Structure 1
Amino acid sequence: MSEETELKTFIIDQLKDMAKTIVKNTEKNIKSRTNNPFNSISDEVGKHMGLGRSFDSQLGTRLQKIALYLARRKYGKENVPNIILMSSKNNQDIVNVVRIAYDLSPEFGMTQKVYWKEPGFDFKGVFTHELIKLYKKDPSKFCIKNDSIHCTIDEILTIKNKINEIDENGNGIPVDLVFFDKKDNAHTFELKAGGNLDTKNTKSNVSEVENLKLIFKIFGNNESKFATCYNNNGEGNTPKGTIFNKLSSKEQAVGKNFWEEILPKSLTYDKFIQIYHKAFKEAKVEETIVK
């Protein structure tokens, strides 16, 4: 199977699942609307309004998974891990890092998380039940990379405290996208679809970018960016949103610029969009959600 065919197949699977989820969510929303005595909108109109909201939400989730898939095709599975565990012994200037990557699938999850754990922590302690079964059956399915990175004790404490501050329950900090380049520099992204960026979320989005930069500062010349899957003001124009005035140009990756950071060299942005549209049609998204 060619690279383009594999990509199209992955996108089709994501979009088919997206369409089914949208239909399921819309049915729940329509049912809950009957409890609102102030809602006089007909069920048919309400259905289409709900479809629009659900589509936007679900599409952002699916595009994030497609981005993860593409980053792996470009940088390799081992450089786009699902799990990153950091730890350090008291009063030592070394951070021990374990990066764990496994196959992308609905069963095992298509997410990325970073944790701070005590030295000697068994990495399987953050595995789901399904992952534990897979590891026992075939450990070769997992790419596991161990690193020891020298830095100052103050830097270690800053990173440890920031992770623990955000991750109060020890469940890991979700990262929209993180990958490591050939020089082992970390590239992290707070990723949004790119539509109507809410002004009230500007502060939290800027904080996310700053937190990612701080947490991954030990990985070379790390870059942390606010990214959108498309330019809400049209490709080539200045995007709309307060956040773009709060971050430097180096802290932004909008639309085409974002995708070109993760697309394999063999695939142009225009070709990627063509493949996506073919996949959208073959997934029968419209036929599924509009009945």
Structure 2
Amino acid sequence: MDEQIKNIILDEFTKLVHTIEGDFHINFLKKRHNFLLNQLDKMMIAHMVFVSSFESKSGNAIQACAKRIARLRFGEENVPQIVNPKGLALPNGFCNPKGEQVVITNVNIESAALHGEINKFREEHKGRGRGKSRIESSVTQESIKQLLTIGGKYIEDRIYIKPVDLCFRDGEEWNIMEIKAGGALDSSNAPSNAEKLLLLYTALQEKNCRCYFATLYNKDGEGAHWNSGVKAHLSYPEMFLIGRQFWERILPQEISFRNFVKIYKQALTQIDLNARIRTMISDCVGTL
């Protein structure tokens, strides 16, 4: 099992490095047109370009790893590329060119009225106050069942398709996840992320379903108290899987989180990521 997980990481991160290498020169030139930065030396700009590119693209790579790892634990049939528990007929000519996992629904998820009702639900259950007088969010696994009734009002004779970060059946329940890297959301974008998750839950229309806001790592350090603006909009810790909790939820049971981190580091060492990035930056800067 260790080797299977290592091969998944090798595959996804090799593709990631190829992508970064492929567009690095163009991204570097674009950054040099930024007058706010072009007084810096070329090597410093190049490192900034790499960090920006890696942070924006690595999330997709590790999410792809997570999906494939979940299939090792729960089986291909329980982590489908097309999530369609109602067996709805797909539109003629349906294709999924990006290879994303998608939810198929007949709930009109484009309806402004539905979005308004989900927004109202979130606001009514929002956490408020500070310190001892604080009231935590009451958006719980139980209270969100109200959204199934709300969503039922928007069922149409039409199919809607919505990408999802990760959705799987664990044998008893569906699990829907909105996944972020570290989850450092502020008060301005936290509500929309919470509502995106609640919309997916509403679209699935499954009573035996749990939804989670998940992060790939604990931005405050594994084992440390995790904080984020999204906690005001979803009940913590019930609606969250942070870092280790997320990986332990999807890893095969014989693989510990500690062992997974070790496997991940071994895979990146095998790719020789550091050397490839240094060479890429040196080659780019040296040609200018």
TM-score (norm 2): 0.72
Equivalent-residue separation in structure 2 for 1:155 and 1:96 (angstroms): 21
> In the alignment, which of 5, 8, 13 is matched to residue 6 of structure 2?
8
Report which stretch shifted further, 54-63 or 35-44.
35-44
Alignment match, 2:44: 45
- For residue 30 of structure 1, report the CA deviation from its aligned partner: 1.2
* Residue of structure 2 aligned with 1:231, choices 201, 214, 218: 218
Partner of 2:195: 207
Q: 1:154 to 1:244 in 2, by over 3 A?
A: closer
Q: Distance in 2 between matches of 1:45 and 1:289?
A: 14
Amino acid at match of 1:48: H
Judge conservation of contact 1:228–1:254 (CA < 8 Å) in 2: yes
**Change in 2 beyond 3 A, CA 1:69/1:229:** same
Q: Which residue number corresponds to residue 208 of structure 2?
A: 221
- 2-structure distance, mates of 1:70, 1:44: 37
Cα RMSD (Å): 2.8
Deviations 1:45-89 (A, max 9, x none): 111011111111222111101110111011110010001347xxx
Kept after mapping to 1: 8 A contact 2:151/2:205: no
**1:160 maps onto 2:155 in alignment:** yes
Partner of 2:78: 79
Paired residues of 2:104 and 2:162 also in contact (CA < 8 A): yes
Q: What is the DSSP-based 3-state SS (H/G/I as helix, E as strand, rest coil) of the residue aligned with 1:290? A: helix
Contact 1:25 1:54 in 2 (8 A): no
Task: Please state if 1:189 is matched with 2:187.
Answer: no
Q: Please give the alpha-carbon distance, in whole angstroms, between the structure 1 residues aligned to 2:2 and 2:46.
A: 35
The one-letter code of the counterpart of 2:219 is: N
Q: How many matched pairs?
A: 232
Query: Structure 1 residues 98, 232: CA separation in 2 closer, same or farther (over 3 Å shift)?
Result: farther
| Percent pairwise identity | 28
Counterpart check, 1:20 vs 2:9:
no
Q: Does 1:242 align with 2:241?
A: no
Correspondence list, 1:35-184, <5 A: 35-38=33-36, 39-85=38-84, 95-97=86-88, 110-116=99-105, 157-158=152-153, 160=155, 172-183=161-172
Residue pair 1:186, 1:216 contacting (<8 A) in 2 also: no
Shift of 1:274: 0.7
Q: How far is the alpha carbon of 1:259 from its aligned partner?
A: 0.7
1:275 to 255, 259, 263: 263
Contact 2:82 2:103 in 1 (8 A): yes
Aligned-pair CA distance for 1:181 = 1.8
Deviation at 1:10, TM superposition (A): 1.4
Instruction: From the superposition, tell whether residues 71 and 207 of structure 1 become closer, same or farther in structure 2 (CA, over 3 Å).
Output: same
CA distance in 1, matches of 2:183, 2:53: 14
Task: For 1:17, give the aligned amino acid.
Answer: K
Matched to 2:25, the amino acid is: E
CA contact (8 A) 2:176 2:210 kept: yes
Gaps of 5+ in 1: 87-94, 100-106, 119-152
Q: Distance in 2 between matches of 1:197 and 1:24?
A: 30
Query: C-alpha separation between the residues in 1 aligned to 2:214 and 2:238?
Result: 11
* TM-score for the superposition, normalised by structure 1: 0.72
Structure 1 Cα separation of the partners of residues 176 and 154 of structure 2: 15
